[in-house]
Structure 1
Amino acid sequence: MCALHRTCHLGRERLQNGRSKEQRLMMGPPDIQREPVKRPIQESGAFLPQHVVEERYKMQSKPLGICLIIDCIGNDTDILRDTFTSLGYEVKHFLYLTVKDITNILRQVAQMPQHQDSDSFACILVSRGGSQSVFGVDQTHSGVPLDHIRRMFMADTCPSLSGKPKLFFIQSYVKSEGQLEDSSFLEVDGPSVKSADSKARQPGPYQDLIHREADFFWSLCKADVSLLEGPSSSPSLYLKCLSQKLWKERKHSLLELHTELNRLVYDWNSKVSAKERYYVWLQHTLRKNLFLSHK
């Protein structure tokens, strides 16, 4: 086969491979309920041909942005605060909040004028929760819906963060009956298909430039609430691994770091009982490559 024919053949193979992955994504995520042990972690990333050079988000502002930590359990605040401070974020942390307080603080932070001069925003939530909400310390309440939290920071409701990466890391401790493997958070690199108002479009200058749901990195980890019921509960394995990766390997892209985090969690899950496992879902609408260090 001549060099020209070989190049065309390789080009067709590459195109076919790309289409094959797109078709798989359109078919939806795998049914992890059939194999909860073998496939406890779901993640997706956008397919890019090898010849396409990835753009990077600008991450040079000082501070990089606000990092909001809401910890209703109390095991993880110190290491998270130190980690995101070292990355260059202005950390604001709160402990043991009610549902009403969580909602009020999120709204206040979403409207902060500092976002205009920052390159990103990060939020870490640690709490007991339901399949699609976080409870805070008042567990009898229905909780704060996760979709509502995300909506507060979309481009039309928080225009100062339009076009900038918005990072969410959520550790939710839930009752295990059918909630650890709930598939509503599985992702195919786009807005959640179950978003209550995904079809609603508010007119405004930002709508024509950047999609209101663009630039989100949404990492959700669920674990059994029984992990908190011992005499001394331990910090979240998920958040511990996240902090370690951000400390030691921040020059790698966030997607690469999350893939490695998944591997560590998977290794842990293969050695422990079902009640001790962590289930991680990643949903992102990033349009560019994201590095949390510009050094």
Structure 2
Amino acid sequence: MCTLHRTCHLRRLQNGRSKEQRLIVEQHHIQKPVKTSIQESGAFLPQHIPEERYRMQSKPLGICLIIDCIGNDTGALRDTFTSLGYEVQHFLYLSVDGIIHILRRVARMPQHQDYDSFVCVLVSRGGSQSVFGVDPTHSGFPLDQIRRMFMADACPSLLGKPKLFFIQNYVVSEGQLEDSSNLEVDGPAVKNVDSKTRPPGPCTVHREADILWSLCRADVSLLERPSSPASVYLQCLSQKLRQERRRPLLELHIELHSRVYDWNSRVSDKERYYVWLQHTLRKKLILSCK
């Protein structure tokens, strides 16, 4: 089509169109599109979204419950978590009934509603899935019951807040047990918790969310030596938390694994520590910014 005919054709198309529509048609025919890369234009590039972190600003940061039924690690643990800003409550040499009583009492504490987190450290002899405290080997308290007592349905004042468990269990072999029965104990009933501790409005956070469960098993024979050593796992944990507190907790725990594996490579089977980490954390967790 010649230029004259093309111009007449455009004018006919423009008849009956609004000013804005005519402008669009003219631009379409007059301007040639300029190709621009995504990098140049910025189109479709994701905007920077700051990584979400758990709020860790309350004073204290929360309750740190230490139950040490062996007696080798309480001092270092108490100093570490106090320096991080926790209110440390520590108990030595408890029976199974004593462990249950303390866990129930702490789970019901109204202070949780004002704090940003909770820590539980437990050191004990036990079976593969239970702890004995200072009791003989014939009964135990299931480890999973400890976690349940602080889940959101049993302890609503900790809903959405990180709940950290560090367990050092010195395992007694089944052949040494007189009776392998476990004591089943329910956590505190939700109805017994003051209604003021319940978070307002609907919440979609699952009851098992925001938990870090770090379990270390070692052979009970370590405790039968003339000079019973402190836990390599808990020593590494305390050192990492004191020296590198501004780093994310999960990163520190990965390095803790590496330290423990390095120890295991240099000792006999009976002296080794085996660490399992499970977590349902939904955000980055840094215990202290001090």
Q: TM-score, normalised by structure 2?
A: 0.74
Distance (whole Å) between structure 1 residues aligned to residue 126 and residue 88 of structure 2: 23
Higher relative contact order, structure no. (Cα contacts within 8 Å, ≥ 6 residues apart)? 1
1 CA distance for matches of 2:163 and 2:211?
Answer: 5
Residue identity in the other structure for 1:161: L
The residue that corresponds to 2:243 in the other structure is: 248
2:132 aligned with 1:138, yes or no? no
Q: Which has the larger radius of gyration?
A: 2
Query: Aligned runs of 1:18-29 on 2, under 5 Å?
Result: none
SS at match of 1:257: helix
> Which amino acid letter does the alignment assign opposite residue 115 of structure 1?
H
Question: Where does residue 280 of structure 1 map in the other structure?
Answer: 275
Q: How does 1:183-222 map to 2 (within 5 A)?
A: 208-222=203-217
Shift of 1:176: 5.3
1:99 is displaced (CA, Å) by: 0.2
* CA apart distance, 1:208: 4.3
Find the partner of 1:69 among 66, 69, 74: 66
Alignment of 1:150-229 (within 5 A): 150-175=147-172, 208-229=203-224
CA deviation after TM superposition for structure 1 residue 66, in Å: 0.4
Other structure's SS at 2:136 match: coil
Match of 1:87 in 2: 84
**1:209 shift after superposition:** 2.1
AA paired with 2:242? Answer: W
Q: Show the counterpart of 1:122.
A: 119
Code of the residue aligned with 2:152 in structure 1: it is A
- Please list the CA deviations of residues 151-203 of structure 1 after superposition, one character each: whole Å capped at 9, or x if unmatched: 1101011000000000000000003579xxxxxxxxxxxxxxxxxx9xxxx9x
Task: Mark the runs of 5 or more structure 2 residues left unpaired by the alignment.
Answer: 1-35, 40-45, 176-185, 192-197
The aligned residue for residue 271 of structure 1 is 266
Tell me how far apart the structure 2 counterparts of residues 52 and 225 of structure 1 sit (CA, whole Å): 48
Which stretches in structure 1 are left out of the alignment for 5+ residues? 7-48, 179-196
Rounded Cα–Cα distance in structure 1 between residues aligned with 2:92 and 2:37:
64
Instruction: Assess if the C-alpha contact under 8 Å between 2:219 and 2:270 holds in 1.
Output: yes
2:80 matches 1:112? no
> Within 1, Cα distance between the matches of 2:217 and 2:202?
33
The answer (yes or no) to whether the contact 1:128–1:139 under 8 Å persists in 2 is: no
TM-score norm. by structure 1 comes to 0.73
Aligned in 2, Cα 1:52/1:283: closer, same or farther, shift over 3 Å?
farther
Deviates more, 1:76-85 or 1:140-149: 140-149
What CA distance in whole angstroms lies between the structure 1 residues aligned with 2:130 and 2:68?
15
1:230-267 CA distance string (max 9 Å, x none): 11100000000000000000010000110110110010
Distance in 1 separating the partners of 2:243 and 2:142: 33
Q: Check 1:207–1:226 CA distance in 2 against 1; reply closer, same or farther (3 A cut).
A: farther
Count, aligned residues: 230
Q: 1:291 and 1:141, CA in 2 relative to 1: closer, same or farther beyond 3 A?
A: same
Query: Percent identical across equivalent pairs?
Result: 75
Between structures 1 and 2, the one with greater helix share: 2
Question: In structure 2, do the counterparts of structure 1 residues 274 and 176 end up closer, same or farther at CA, with 3 Å as the change threshold?
Answer: farther
